[in-house]
Amino acid sequence: MAFSNLVLLFKLFSFLLLFRSTQSKLSADYYNKTCPKFQNIMQTILAEKQLSAPTTAAATLRVFFHDCFVNGCDSSMLIASNAFNKSERDANINLSVAGDAFDLITRVKTALELECPGVVSCSDILAVSARDLVVMVGGPFYEVVLGRKDSRESNPSIVDKNLPKALTPMNELLSLFSSKGFSAEEMVALVGAHTIGFSHCKEFANRIFNFSKTSEFDPAYNPVFAQGLRKLCANYTQSPAMSAFNDVYTPGKFDNMYYKNLQIGLGLLSSDQAMVTDNRTKPFVDRFAANETAFFDTFARSMEKLSVYKVKENNDGDVRRRCDQFNTLQ
């Protein structure tokens, strides 16, 4: 009996050693030897792009989130459709993503391929771009480990069930984030990315036009804000690009004003406004509104966690030569 136990322990120990050896090889200095100018090249291009197109930070953050939540942070969101393959970009929720993010990634990848061809993955470029742009517009710094590989597939049919939408009920939102390993607090912090960027009128039109038999607009809105949105979006069906800032006061600055806006009826999307009335999320909205440091700390921790969600390593993926195309025709 004692001998059999010893054999069992030996096998368990061997398994643990093997398991440990196959664990994540991601590291902050992954490109130090293979592409030492990686950070400098990225920072230069990111700064130039953000200065010329201030919507780049919000767009890139959204692409990063949409990429990671759909089968992991593997840059499958960056693939463009071709005659043989439809990609995640074709999913309805992704059609409104601003093109500045894709243009940025193309610029960075082109420069890195000239400096160190075939070395830096598109997944790492996207993860670092999201972090650095958040910092550029006033948000918190957080560690991004490197070494991700790029996905060999991009399937639009799995997008909708993996991403939150403007009209998603709170129960479903919490369930979706929980299925990815995120708590209610982390969800509220991640949604705080709406402190920058904008939303198209179609995303909140149901709240400002013919809301109910007794009210033209959602009474949860500040009345003055609602009337302003009604004027802004009056012709949104003819002009689908019409949009409004998620944060009406500091739309280009990453801060905690978004949560303060929710408290006074200035939450643009119904899913956002619901966070201030639901007992499971309201305490975090109130805490982040009162304490920007608490928001930044939780956001940074949550983004670190998100950035390694179901990443691909080693032979599980490729380093794409172009971020919008697979290395082999699909």
**45 and 145 co-located in one domain:** yes
- The one-character DSSP state at 214 is S
**Whole-number pLDDT of residue 330:** 58
Whether 105 maps to a domain, the answer reads yes
Q: What is the DSSP string of 79-117?
A: PPP-SS---GGGSGGGTTS-THHHHHHHHHHHHHHHHST
Do the beta carbons of residue 162 and residue 173 sit within 8 Å? no
pLDDT in tens, 122-156: 999 999 999 999 999 999 999 999 999 999 999 99
Nearest-CA neighbor of 185 among 274, 285, 326?
A: 285
Do 153 and 191 belong together in one domain?
no
Indicate whether 186 pLDDT > 60. Answer: yes
| Lowest pLDDT segment from 11-25, 140-154, 184-198 | 11-25
* Domain containing residue 179: CATH number: 1.10.420.10
From 49, 62, 66, 312, active-site residue: 66
Answer with the one of 109, 135, 158 that is the final residue of a domain: 158
Q: Is residue 233 included in any domain, yes or no?
A: yes
- Locate 206 and state its tokens: 């149901």
Instruction: Let me know if 66 is a catalytic residue.
Output: yes
Are 154 and 87 in contact by the 8 Å Cβ rule? The answer is: yes
Does residue 151 form part of some domain?
A: yes
Over its C-alpha atoms, the chain yields an Rg (Å, rounded) of 22
Domain boundary residue, one of 134, 158, 182 = 158
Quick check: is 3 in a domain?
Answer: no
Q: What are phi and psi of 200, to 5 degrees?
A: -75, 150
Beta strands in 121-249 (DSSP E): 198-200, 243-245
Binding site per annotation, positions for heme b: 194
Q: Is 313 among the domain residues?
A: no
Q: Which of residues 126, 158, 190 is at a domain's end?
A: 158
Q: What are phi and psi of 157, to 5 degrees?
A: -70, -15
Q: Are 316 and 128 in contact (CB under 8 A)?
A: no
Bridge partner list, 199: 244
- Total count of domains within the chain: 2
Residues forming beta bridges with residue 245, ordered by sequence position: 198
* Contact by Cβ (8 Å): 74, 206: no
pLDDT tens readout for residues 220-263: 999 999 999 999 999 999 998 899 999 999 999 999 999 999 99
The tokens of 71 are what? 């089968």
Nearest one of 188, 207, 176 to 70, comparing CA atoms: 176
Residue 221 lies in a domain: yes
pTM above 0.85, yes or no: yes
| Identity of the residue numbered 203 | E
Q: Give first-to-last CA distance, the chain, whole Å.
A: 55
Do 101 and 179 fall into the same domain? no
* pLDDT tens per residue, range 264-288: 999 999 999 999 999 999 999 999 9
- For the annotated binding site for Ca(2+), the residues are 67, 70, 72, 74, 76, 88, 195, 247, 250, 255
Q: What range defines the domain where residue 54 resides?
A: 37-158
Same domain, yes or no: 129 and 256:
no
Residue recorded with tokens 């958040």? 134
User: Which residues line the annotated binding site for substrate?
Assistant: 164
pLDDT digits (tens, 9 = 90+) for 97-128: 889 999 999 999 999 999 999 999 999 999 99
d(CA 219, CA 213): 12
pLDDT, tens digit, for every residue of 34-87?
999 999 999 999 999 999 999 999 999 999 999 999 999 999 999 998 888 899
Q: Look at the block and give the residue holding tokens 């001998």.
A: 3
Q: Measured between alpha carbons, how far is 187 from 191 in angstroms, rounded to an integer?
A: 6
Binding residues: 67, 70, 72, 74, 76, 88, 164, 194-195, 247, 250, 255
- CA–CA separation, 193 vs 256, rounded Å? 10
Residues 215 and 286 occupy one common structural domain:
yes
